């Protein structure tokens, strides 16, 4: 059995079952590079502050680098009895360097060490996620730009409501994902705080220089309160909340693609390479990618709930419960990145069906509001026009026609204000292009939104 760094006061060996139960190495080994980097910075700081000698620091740094190599080459031995990645690396250092290795942990505890590792990991991953979202947003804008000639029904209550540009609908998702980018960027500020030097919970008696460690590890600031620092997992909760909101957006666009690719809608064709068939029904082509993304949303929400529950009611400061933070965090990071990546691949390959979308705008009385607005333009109050058009819709329904199929004589029965020019007003393209209010669906307005989006994206690109 390996010697444990903390077993001085113990007279009995740890139960094997307990070792397996408390071990987190299978999960936290992915932090190894951050653990080594953090330890190297800690050594350098210790030497600079005169707590260990320069020679000792140099030896430790060399030893740590050798361990990094061993792990990267896959020759490093992992063992449940050593609990976590921090103890594995320290124990190996002791094997390789002997007594000097024992100096590494001066003025440090695993409590501030693990906080450091997770923060370093998460700031890197947050940057990766933000960059991926930026790429995704660009794909959406490109798609919107190249489909400005397509109109479709816009829906409320999943009932056809008013015609919109497909590009306008797509740009709605751009807005959501852009807010996600901003949210992750903001979250990064609270991740990017250096915890080392808080030690177990109360700080340390050694004359450490936390600012120097922060500088070496590229942190813009050090944490303030040692007790808060070792027990704070807000930055994880916040990341998971951002990830959950982002997954809501993915789930919504996925639901739309599932609907739109059905024969009931028939608005889009998902490429074969992104679909699967059925083992029994030869005709089937299923939208698996959007379905799975929609399904994976549950995992990410679950991870947020798990972490909120772990943290709720914990007394200050560190508690072992917090070791349970890594599995949900890693799973959320992996899931979110996988979803963004697959969408980046899939979006440009969607084939939208212009004719079917247009046809769908011509049935279901999507131009009723425009008829009412027309009457308002002739001096009628909107409420009166609304009632009158309601009657016209009821009449058209009873004859199995659309408003634009009614003859001028039939329309005039509802109001003498209606003239021949009404047919242009009731045309789909016209309905779309008259909605020039800021943020509306008119082609000119959507083009402006696209230009604005391109500007925002290039600004964000420079910032990450």
Q: Does 320 bind ligand ARG (CB under 6 A)?
A: yes
Asked if 84 touches ligand ARG (CB under 6 A), the answer is: yes
Minimum distance, C-beta of residue 317 to ligand ARG, in the bound complex (Å): 10
* Cα 8–chain centre separation: 45
Among 110-118, 177-185, 264-272, 349-357, the segment contacting ligand ARG (CB under 6 A)? 110-118
Of the candidate spans 109-117, 287-295, 418-426, 450-458, the one that interacts with ligand ARG by CB under 6 A turns out to be: 109-117
Binding window for ligand ARG (CB under 6 A); candidates: 107-115, 174-182, 238-246, 340-348:
107-115
d(CA 205, CA 302): 41
Residue that the structure tokens 């797509």 belong to: 170
198 binds ligand ARG (CB under 6 A): no
Burial readout 237-276 (b: 16 or more C-beta within 10 A, e: otherwise):
bbbbbbbbbbbebbbebbebbbbbbeeebebbebeeebbe
| Angle made by CA atoms 382, 383, 389, in degrees to the nearest 5 | 85
- Chain residues 25-44 in contact with ligand ARG, contact rule CB under 6 A: 28
Nearer to ligand ARG, 293 or 311 (CB): 311
What values do phi and psi take at 323, rounded to 5?
A: -60, -25
Q: Exactly one of 53, 146, 262, 278 is catalytic; name it.
A: 278
| Nearer CB in complex with ligand ARG: 121/343 | 121
Dig out the tokens for 239 from the structure. 């990341």
Say if residues 174 and 140 touch (Cβ distance below 8 Å).
Answer: yes
Which residue stretch of 108-116, 134-142, 283-291, 435-443 sits at the interface with ligand ARG (rule: CB under 6 A)? 108-116
9 binds ligand ARG (CB under 6 A): no
With H, G, I as helix, E, B as strand and everything else as coil, classify residue 112. helix
The count of other CB atoms within 10 Å of the CB of residue 348 is 12
Q: H/E element holding 67?
A: helix 54-72
Residue 111 binding ligand ARG, by CB under 6 A: yes
What is the number of alpha carbons within 13 Å of residue 64 lying toward its C-beta? 29
Asked if 398 is an active-site residue, the reply is: no
| Cis bond before residue 317 (omega within 30° of 0) | yes
Q: Of residues 167, 226, 251, 323, which one binds ligand ARG by CB under 6 A? A: 323
Is 278 part of the annotated catalytic residue set? yes
Q: Could you say which of 11, 157, 416, 437 is catalytic?
A: 157
**C-alpha torsion 249→251→253→255, nearest 10:** -150
Question: Which residue number, 142 or 319, has a Cβ lying nearer to ligand ARG?
Answer: 319
Task: Candidates 42, 88, 92, 110: give the one binding ligand ARG (CB under 6 A).
Answer: 110
Give 240 or 322: the residue with its C-beta nearer to ligand ARG.
322
Binding site for ligand ARG (CB under 6 A): 24, 28, 84, 110-111, 114, 318, 320, 322-323
Q: Residues with catalytic annotation?
A: 157, 278
């Amino acid at each position: 059995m390996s010697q444990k760094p903390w077993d001085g006061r113990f007279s009995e060996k740890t139960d094997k079952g307990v070792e397996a139960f408390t071990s987190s190495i299978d999960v936290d080994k992915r932090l190894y590079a951050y653990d080594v980097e953090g330890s190297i910075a800690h050594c350098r700081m210790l030497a600079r502050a005169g707590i260990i000698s320069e020679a000792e620091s140099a030896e430790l740094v060399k030893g740590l680098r050798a361990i990094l190599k061993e792990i990267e080459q896959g020759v490093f031995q992992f063992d449940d009895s050593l609990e976590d990645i921090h103890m594995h690396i320290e124990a190996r250092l002791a094997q390789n360097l002997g007594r000097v290795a024992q100096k590494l942990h001066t003025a440090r505890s695993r409590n501030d060490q693990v906080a450091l590792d997770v923060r370093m990991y998460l700031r890197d991953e947050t940057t990766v996620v933000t960059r991926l979202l930026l790429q995704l947003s660009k794909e959406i804008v490109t798609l919107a730009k190249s489909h400005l000639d397509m109109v479709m029904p816009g829906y409320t209550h999943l009932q056809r409501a008013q015609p919109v540009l497909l590009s306008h609908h797509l740009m709605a998702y751009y807005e959501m994902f852009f807010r996600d980018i901003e949210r992750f960027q903001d979250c990064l500020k609270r991740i990017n705080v250096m915890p080392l030097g808080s030690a177990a919970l109360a700080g340390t008696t050694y004359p450490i220089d936390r600012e120097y460690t922060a500088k070496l590890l590229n942190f813009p600031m050090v944490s303030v309160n040692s007790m808060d620092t070792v027990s704070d997992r807000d930055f994880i909760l916040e990341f998971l909340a951002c990830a959950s909101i982002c997954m809501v957006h993915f789930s919504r666009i996925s639901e739309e693609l599932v609907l739109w690719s059905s024969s009931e809608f028939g608005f889009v064709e998902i490429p074969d390479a992104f679909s699967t068939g059925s083992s029994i029904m030869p005709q089937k082509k299923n939208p698996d990618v959007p379905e799975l993304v929609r399904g994976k949303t549950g995992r990410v929400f679950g991870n947020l709930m798990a972490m909120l529950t772990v943290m709720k009611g914990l007394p200050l400061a560190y508690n072992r419960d917090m070791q349970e933070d890594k599995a949900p965090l890693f799973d959320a990071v992996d899931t979110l990145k996988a979803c963004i990546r697959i969408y980046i691949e899939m979006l440009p390959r969607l084939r939208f069906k212009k004719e079917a979308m247009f046809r769908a705008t011509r049935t279901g009385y999507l131009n009723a509001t425009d008829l009412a607005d027309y009457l308002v333009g002739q001096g009628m109050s909107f409420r009166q026009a609304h009632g009158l058009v309601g009657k016209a819709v009821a009449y058209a329904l009873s004859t199995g026609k659309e408003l634009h199929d009614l003859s001028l004589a039939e329309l005039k029965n509802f109001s003498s204000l209606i003239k021949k020019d009404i047919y242009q007003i009731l045309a789909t393209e016209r309905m779309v292009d008259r909605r020039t209010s800021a943020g509306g669906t008119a082609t000119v307005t959507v083009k402006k939104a696209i230009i604005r989006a391109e500007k925002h994206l290039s600004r964000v690109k420079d910032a990450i």
